[in-house]
């Protein structure tokens, strides 16, 4: 961690702040930060903040297909990379050493930038109102990143786990600040402290006539608060903040009128194969960051550019009526990644790498529906759910979902969450389902796949069963060993 911070200090302001600074900050020089515009430019560089590189969200659930059939059918690294199989089968032996886990480091980079703003805020020129907004925005960044880190590298939070290891809480830009991990209870207390400050944001999501969800804003803070409180099963507060966010902004993307196909072809074994992408596949950075459902523009990023949908996931959709299946599951997409393999779909949202992961209006409706259903008023919850479904189901085939009791309503709502945003919500949802007040939504995961060692899949041997059960310590994914070593032993690895 200390080595990591030294590297950050050397390059932290290259980019958006380049026009403001005459020298690069270093340990031994005074940082030439004198105006509020310099700090605003740092938080305004969305390239620092907008990607969420969680391998666990992409690979660790039954949204992602791992199978003998696919392994034997493909040859390219988009599917047959060792780290994919290791992460997807919840390995804890080799994964810390694979050198491919960047999520811990990138989220701490965001926290570092936020701390830079907080550290220099009092000493720069600018109005008190401007400073208050940047302080709140920096705390939103920290709350969001700490929550992501805890939700990937720590056990799910409850009374039984509160004294387990949390994350490293970085509150300054000092080289001497300890990188030791806090307790899980301290981690969640810090998330709530940062969130409390973030909720003081007063900037609207629309500023000077421009829709700006890539910047901190009052609606983004409320929306993240709704997500956070749902994650700890506090349905009252989740509902409170979902309602507050929706009261600010409630635009929904309508698949019936705003989605179309982008048709193209690729050559496979000297034959032309048609591939129909959703029109959102072609969206550029500006269009993606301005996606009208966003409260806060963040994207899940999978470096292999192939979200491989499982048979289980695809089987949940009404393939005729659900427009999310029609447009987002791209037939023959495997040929783009491996031109000599077999035909298999890919899940596509915005480009090959990105799926919206930041809080959206559709997520707020799902949180609102689930919070209402879990607190007893399940009939009203179903009405809220239909406000979303009417924008996602073919208008000519639309029928309302029917629940006969609270349990049926909750199950329909949580299924809808998975249909709405696979490879994003599912990992985080499974963690909370296994730690809430009911057992009917518990999740135990298993896969059958070949055995492997640290470098090779042993495809000539019989299949074995890999499991991730409720209560398993592997719900806390391993921290990269490079981080453990660079912290000089202060960061403790998870125990299994």
| Per-residue pLDDT band at 18 (split at 50, 70, 90) | very low
pLDDT > 80? residue 17: no
Q: How many CA atoms lie within 13 A of 463 on its CB side?
A: 13
Q: Which residues contact 312 (CB under 8 A, 6 or more apart)?
A: 62
pLDDT > 80? residue 27: no
**38 in any annotated domain:** no
| Per-residue pLDDT band at 20 (split at 50, 70, 90) | very low
Q: Which residues contact 222 (CB under 8 A, 6 or more apart)?
A: 199, 241, 244, 245, 248, 295
Structural contact between residues 220 and 140, judged by C-beta atoms closer than 8 angstroms: yes
Structure tokens given for 230:
């749902």
**352 in any annotated domain:** yes
Q: What is the pTM of this model?
A: 0.93
User: What mean pLDDT, rounded, does the chain reach?
Assistant: 93
Cα-Cα-Cα-Cα dihedral sign, residues 270, 276, 279, 283: negative
Model pLDDT, residue 75: 87
**322 in any annotated domain:** yes
Number of domains comprising the chain: 1
| Per-residue pLDDT band at 77 (split at 50, 70, 90) | confident
The predicted model gives 241-256 an average pLDDT of: 98
DSSP 123: G
pLDDT > 90? residue 304: yes
Q: How far is CA 467 from CA 68, 173, 446, 476, in A?
A: 16, 40, 4, 14
Give the tens place of pLDDT for each residue, 441-477: 999 999 999 999 989 999 999 999 999 999 999 999 9
The predicted model gives 328-355 an average pLDDT of: 95
How far is it, in rounded angstroms, from Cα 279 to Cα 254?
A: 13
**477 in any annotated domain:** no
**145 in any annotated domain:** no
Helices (H), 315-400: 323-328, 334-337, 361-374, 378-389
Nearest to 296 by CA among 226, 194, 196: 226
How far is it, in rounded angstroms, from Cα 44 to Cα 430?
A: 33
How far is it, in rounded angstroms, from Cα 316 to Cα 450?
A: 26
How far is it, in rounded angstroms, from Cα 252 to Cα 363?
A: 10
Model pLDDT, residue 260: 97
Q: Please give the biggest Cα pair distance in the chain.
A: 68
| Per-residue pLDDT band at 31 (split at 50, 70, 90) | low
The predicted model gives 415-437 an average pLDDT of: 98
Give the tens place of pLDDT for each residue, 169-207: 999 998 889 999 999 999 999 999 999 999 999 999 999
How far is it, in rounded angstroms, from Cα 224 to Cα 140?
A: 9
**271 in any annotated domain:** yes
The predicted model gives 411-429 an average pLDDT of: 98
**313 in any annotated domain:** yes
Nearest to 259 by CA among 317, 314, 327: 327
Give the tens place of pLDDT for each residue, 89-99: 999 999 999 99
pLDDT > 80? residue 22: no
φ, ψ dihedrals at 206, nearest 5°:
-110, 120
* CB-neighbour burial class of residue 291 (10 A; exposed 0-12, middle 13-18, buried 19+): buried
pLDDT > 60? residue 3: no
List the domain range (segments joined by +) for residue 309. 249-424
**45 in any annotated domain:** no
Structural contact between residues 62 and 446, judged by C-beta atoms closer than 8 angstroms: no
Structural contact between residues 356 and 291, judged by C-beta atoms closer than 8 angstroms: yes
Q: At 274, which helix (H) or strand (E)?
A: strand 271-278
């Amino acid at each position: 961690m200390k080595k990591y911070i030294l590297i950050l200090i050397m390059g932290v302001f290259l980019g958006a702040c380049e026009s403001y600074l005459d020298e690069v900050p270093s340990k031994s020089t005074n940082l030439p930060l004198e105006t509020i515009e310099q700090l605003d430019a740092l938080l305004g560089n969305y390239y620092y903040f907008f990607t969420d590189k969680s391998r666990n969200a992409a690979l660790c659930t039954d949204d992602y297909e791992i199978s003998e059939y696919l392994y034997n059918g493909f040859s390219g690294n988009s599917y047959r990379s060792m780290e994919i199989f290791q992460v997807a089968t919840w390995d804890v032996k080799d994964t810390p050493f694979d050198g491919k886990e960047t999520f811990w480091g990138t989220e701490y980079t965001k926290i570092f930038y936020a701390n830079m703003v907080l550290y220099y805020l009092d000493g720069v020129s600018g109005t008190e109102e401007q400073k208050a907004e940047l302080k709140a925005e920096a705390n939103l960044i920290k709350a969001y990143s700490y929550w992501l880190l805890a939700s990937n590298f720590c056990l799910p939070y409850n009374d039984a786990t509160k004294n387990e290891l949390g994350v490293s809480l970085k509150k300054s830009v000092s080289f001497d600040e300890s990188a030791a991990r806090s307790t899980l209870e301290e981690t969640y207390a810090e998330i709530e402290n940062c969130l409390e400050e973030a909720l003081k944001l007063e900037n609207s999501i629309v500023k000077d006539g421009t829709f700006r969800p890539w910047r901190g804003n009052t609606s983004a803070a409320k929306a993240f608060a709704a997500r956070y409180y749902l994650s700890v099963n506090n349905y009252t507060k989740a509902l409170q903040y979902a309602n507050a966010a929706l009261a600010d902004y409630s635009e929904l993307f309508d698949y019936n009128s705003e989605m179309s196909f982008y048709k193209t072809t690729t050559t496979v074994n000297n034959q032309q194969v048609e591939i129909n992408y959703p029109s959102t596949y072609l969206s550029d950075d500006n269009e993606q960051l301005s996606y009208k459902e966003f409260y806060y523009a963040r994207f899940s990023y999978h470096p292999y550019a192939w979200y491989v949908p499982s048979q289980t996931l695809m089987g949940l959709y009404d393939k005729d009526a659900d427009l999310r299946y029609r447009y987002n599951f791209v037939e023959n997409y495997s040929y783009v990644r491996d031109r000599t393999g077999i035909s298999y779909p890919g899940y596509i949202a915005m480009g090959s790498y990105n799926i919206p992961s930041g809080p959206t209006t559709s997520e707020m409706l799902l949180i609102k529906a689930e919070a209402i259903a879990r607190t007893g008023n399940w009939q009203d919850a179903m009405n809220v759910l239909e406000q979303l479904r009417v924008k996602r189901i073919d208008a000519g085939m639309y029928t309302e979902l029917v629940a006969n009791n609270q349990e049926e309503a909750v199950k329909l709502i949580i299924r809808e969450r998975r249909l709405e945003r696979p490879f994003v919500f599912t990992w985080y949802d499974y963690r909370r389902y296994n730690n809430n007040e009911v057992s009917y939504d518990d999740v135990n995961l298993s896969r059958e796949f070949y055995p492997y060692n640290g470098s090779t899949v042993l495809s000539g041997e019989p299949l074995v069963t890999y499991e991730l059960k409720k209560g398993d310590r592997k719900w806390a994914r391993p921290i990269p060993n490079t981080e453990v070593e660079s912290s000089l032993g202060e960061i403790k690895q998870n125990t299994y």
